[in-house]
Amino acid sequence: MTADASARALDAVARTRAGAELAAAEIELLVADFVAGRVPDYQMSAWLATVACRGLSRAETVALTRAYVTGGETLDFAASGRVVLDKHSTGGVGDTVSLVVVPLVAACGVAVAKMSGRGLGLTGGTIDKMESVRGLRLELDTDEVYRMVDQVGMVITGQSASLTPGDKATYALRDVTGTVDSLPLIAASIVSKKIAVGAHGVLFDVKTGAGALIPDQDRALELAHLMVGVATGAGLRCRAVLTDMSQPLGYAVGNALEVHEALDALRGREIPGLTGLCRTIAALMLRSADPGLSAAEAERKVDDALAAGAGYEQFLRWAVAQGAEPGVLEEPGGLPTADNQVRVVADREGYVSEVDPRAIGTAAMNVGAGRLVKGGPLDHSAGVVLRRRVGDRVSAGEPLAVIHHRDGVEPPVDLVRGAFRVSESAPAEPPVVLKII
């Protein structure tokens, strides 16, 4: 720690608190000083807390985004001679979109480099889901990432430990100082990773509703606009969709269960909620890669790939190239299966008017599909599979959902049954795509 750096940090806190706008160079130096240990935790925490209360301008958020990247590893796909895209979701219960969209877009000829994380709590992480696939390697070095994009057209891997050192250093403080939900800090954290990954463009899937990390729709929309603005300001091609998570996205909630559902979708099975959203996102990504492509042309490419099973074949090629045992995804028992399946049935006749995603996510977590603590073990076979969604008719005694769990785990039947509300009249099914930005 140095006196000069400490004085600069105090000045940044005071000016941000007063509503003054910091120059990009000042923000970059503040983050660099903190990463280098020249600024103590308590001063950086004070600045982050001030940002959480006062906010940042768009220019300041762009500067913070770039500061997070400085000093870390960055990927560069220029040598590939092709447009490489990325996709990011803010998280939701049963959010299986990446497992469908990444191979689907790659099957349409656009490369996708996706660095994903793990889940904590109700929203599962893509890496956790993919670890259900026997033999699949999900920690790749830089050369392997380049090779996968060049040879297979897609890669899904865990985030490199050397990316965005500024984000890593400040996130550790945000996690313990109540500043995780600050929109400028969220935007800078997410977009910095996309810059470091080296993608030319990114599609943001911003979830809202009870099953999302950001339930309030106005706030989720504000975050979507902010991320698009910051990413565009950093030179990325960028679109965003605001999507509804007032019920689980598809039928499956749980790691291997969601992989199985993603494969079904890629084989052309229409899964309410999931398939339509994947079509929309994939078409938007194709148009980001080729701005001259019309909406109708992009949608037709996606539909043709689904109808032909091209996305499914792409998924299989990618999985084997990244270490999965050949045939493991085509075998009936290739994915982990639970010891027990318990049906949860309706106690009255009517129409499903509500499926509480938080209750379903909690039930899945309680049987082992999610982590109660960071780094905790997972049961990849566990979870909940819906048999009814909002708008479906059900009779007394018919299944609402099935709980998958291992021996020795008490199935949370009452919690799952309580997630469903059955009414006499059919409700209007909410649209999944609320807004495209």
Most confident option among 175-179, 228-232, 279-283: 279-283
Average pLDDT over residues 333-355: 95
CA distance 250 to 227: 26
Q: Could you tell me the domains of the chain?
A: 3-55 (1.20.970), 78-321 (3.40.1030.10), 340-423 (3.90.1170.30)
Residue written as token pair 């001259």: 292
* 114 noted as active-site residue: no
Average pLDDT over residues 393-410: 97
- Active-site choice (129, 174, 287, 389): 174
- Tell me the pLDDT tens digit for each residue of 21-48: 999 999 999 999 999 999 999 999 999 9
Among 20, 19, 34, 24, smallest CA distance to 9 is for 34
* 379 noted as active-site residue: no
- Active-site choice (189, 192, 288, 381): 189
- Active-site choice (193, 279, 388, 389): 193
* 1, pLDDT greater than 80: no
Alpha helices for 234-273 (secondary structure H): 255-266
* 127, pLDDT greater than 80: yes
Average pLDDT over residues 421-435: 93
* 121, pLDDT greater than 70: no
**Left if phi > 0, otherwise alpha if psi is -120 to 50, otherwise beta: which for 209?**
left
111-120, 153-162, 229-238, 258-267, range with the lowest pLDDT: 111-120
316 — pLDDT class (breaks 50, 70, 90):
very high
* CB 174 within 8 Å of CB 180: yes
* 189 noted as active-site residue: yes
Share of the chain above pLDDT 90, in %: 73
CA distance 264 to 139: 26
How many C-alpha atoms does 123 have within 13 Å on its Cβ side?
19
- Tell me the pLDDT tens digit for each residue of 348-358: 999 999 999 99
* 88 noted as active-site residue: yes
* 167 noted as active-site residue: yes
- Active-site choice (86, 167, 244, 379): 167
**Left if phi > 0, otherwise alpha if psi is -120 to 50, otherwise beta: which for 128?**
alpha
Burial 32-70 (b: 16+ CB within 10 A, else e): bbbbeebbeeebbbbbbbbbbeeebeeebbbbbbbbbbe
- Could you give the 3-state DSSP secondary structure of residue 392? coil
